Structure 1
């Protein structure tokens, strides 16, 4: 901080009285920011500052003050040691260099003034001449250098982090990536997968011309192909042949500029690798969808039909696939929204639902018995419900038994023949069938009483009455 100039200094003249040489005194006071003459008792006998120095207003009041009162305790101890060393040097016949000391002047209100002094013992061997240099500009410069070094280190760490990410991306990506200098055609960087395609090691390829490894391209033709993409902003595409293996690859690349150098990022791919098996699987699945004996339907998360196979169209008597696309599955299910809710909720919760028995409504008002298997294709953004529907209306399509408990109930009914009247047997059979239907509805809805009541066409209160009648309350709550 620049301090005001109050004037009133003792000036170079008083310094000259102790040096006995006006010229030397003038030179010293013009070179040093602060000149002090210290008495043996540690009192400032003369003080001067360089003209225009920011410390001029501060040192004006220092004359006749004790130096230890103007500096901190640590500086006082350092000053005492330096003065003792000066006295020892004076007693020695050898010429000793000047002693240096850094003192911290206390200016009040928390402000300080760091000064570096050169100490000289005057001719009387008693007084000490102190030539001081204000250290604030030096400290500010050091702080600027320190801040610049910290900023450089941070930039270096950030660059190392970026380089690490880049290297990991190059090493772990399944793509074959090459960076090429457009001007020279030399390989700047290449990952392991690309090196394998060129049948070389990465170290052998760095700094080599990429066009030398292709049978049908030179550097100029390669650059020309990269400069002419099919669409503006898209990657350029071309076919290349590896000299060593005669393997034909697809090259896609895009130019960019970094640090004043034009580079190209190139991706090599084999269009035939891994495609044959995928194409065969896709073809087989397409044929299964179009010609399979079981109907296949895909719907969105709300049950709206996305696609339906030809077999489904035959089951529902719908004339074309476009006529069914976009319609809700509930329109074709006998119990409508109840069946759809059971399919969606169970498939979403468990991932799949097997052998769900219901009926399909046709466009002509008829019904066809079916058994449905549902699979939830849980895509993060666009999940799909896949349904496989098997025609269960024929005599051979018999639904599996639902459990040993139902077998025991039916066996109990059979044993009544011969011991009870037909009227009593019919009454008992009605109760058994009713209980089986309620148990089945609870099983299909995963003990959801509301959905079970809707499926059975009962009110919720009526279902509760029947649950208590057949002692199914505890089973349902479990």
Structure 2
């Protein structure tokens, strides 16, 4: 909306430049008029357009206005403004800038005009300024403002959801400022754990909640949590009541300041009697065990998997995707998951394990199951098999005896070794068939195989083949 600041009322008039304006000739006056506006129209007292100056590229349809009445070139809602400006010009009144819209094939063209009367009101000049660029800037500004408002509303909703989760969580949680270890926020579960009134922990020192002997342990843990995520929880004692709890912290930054998310777990919380032995067995079993969520994110592990992955602690593994450690990326774990989803279990799948700190891949065997319908979880039992493979004595019995056994080698050994195994399998089957066909007549078998007797005896020794029964397991009848 245009205000009085767009008029001539408040502008400082020229003080002593009369001789300059008296010396202006016709060409100089035309130049001044053309410079004064993007569109300049010369009008008679009735509003007919006698002449005009404008950029034909910017205003291609304005060339047709010459000879028309100014009222006929604007939209219906702009006509009262044109009439008011013409009437004011005839009376010699001070003009105000007014915006009018000119219709065109590409849409309305907004122009801001002021009318100056000349020759005692017989003629008038309308100076116009194109507002399209200003309109585009205003539209962009409006879109940015709307986008910021939407982002603000979205952030408010996200904050409300996380606030609800923070307040309703049964796990005691505190947000602590890293510079002085003062508590900034604590949920109701944290207040209940330390025996404090609701809302009373804010701005208190975190170290004041623990016994004197636990103070150094807490300080060391918080300092480590600021520089690394691979920090194992520590057992500490609360000052009030001497209650033992497990504390774990992780650092994060916000608004150029560092904070700590401190979580507590009651070390004395009750566990169902039937569940406690199971958890104890899983924790101390020699085979590695991993529990993941539906997206294969690690939820819990036992110490055997921590050692197998060469991790600093369970916290370093928790939340990581299991494919980071097990199998070829995007292959083995997906195959195991699809087999579990189809059959409910996967048994003794051979794959590899990668350690946290790199190094050689270790051959492992994985068995897995899935539990839960609404909240699905996967359980994995992982056994290292490198030592077992080294301890197995070489022998012909290790050779696959069928195509099914041969295809099971995919993923366990390179393709060139599988091809060699395939060649050995085919050679052995052919020798067995020849011996059956000739009723164990080795001379005839060597002849039909195109081998010398010495070559045949060498291969029989290699594959451990002796006398075959009348009907072998391969289904060839004796001849």
Q: TM-score, normalised by structure 2?
A: 0.47
Larger Rg: 1
Q: TM-score, normalised by structure 1?
A: 0.47
